Structure 1
Amino acid sequence: MATSKQSITRRAQRVRRQLKKAANGRPRLSVHRSSKNIYAQVIDDTAGRTLAAASTLDGDLKGSLKTGADAEAAAAVGKLVAERAVKAGVKEVVFDRGAYIFHGRVKALADAAREAGLTF
């Protein structure tokens, strides 16, 4: 039987494999969620570089948030990463939720990124 870490890795790889088929050259908005913070970055897989990134540890957000582990913080990160991506010239992305279900903090981040100008 697979360990928990192996199951999580396999699930994330399955999601990314499906995204590669649907991406058509669009960058990927990747989300990582820990128990205390949330991180998001827009990645150009063809060039292998990060175009924009934001997290609850950024100086812009850290002082204004009560905690980095709630939906309000995730929405702030989503808005900030979308603004940085649009500034870098990216308007269309594919959303990479990783091994996380599209619910709670991950959904709040995605909704805020959509409102701030990203389409996916």
Structure 2
Amino acid sequence: MTSSRHSAQAVGRRVCEALDPVLVPHGFQAGQVGVGTDVGVTFCSPGGEFSRRFPHLASWMDLDHPAACVDLAVYAHPEPARLVQVRLEGRELDDVAGRSGNHAAGRADGVGLPMEEGLERLAATVAALLLEGSPHE
């Protein structure tokens, strides 16, 4: 059990290592890791700041409440290490990327790929989505 939990924690750390450098400069907090059957990593941005920085992404979100935040949630299986789901404020990131025209061949969010390849694709997709149409970048 310990090695499985250790493996899950290592996957969470790896997700943070790959995505913190992309998300933190854009107003997100560093990833927060949770370990259960799967690994979950949540990156949160204050809603008002997200809305100002990324109006092209915030248009469908309800961010009127002063305490609103926008979550990018990344879920992974530790063995074999693969991303299993990525959601931006409740929507599949692959769908968000497709709607914005930011869609490469295959899944834009890296889901189903081996961990390193999946994280590389996910980081590139997130960076492209955040930079697209942002007046602050």
Normalising by structure 1, what TM-score? 0.36
Kindly indicate whether structure 1 or structure 2 has the higher relative contact order, using CA contacts under 8 Å at least 6 residues apart. Answer: 1
Q: Between Structure 1 and Structure 2, which shows a larger proportion of strand residues?
A: 2
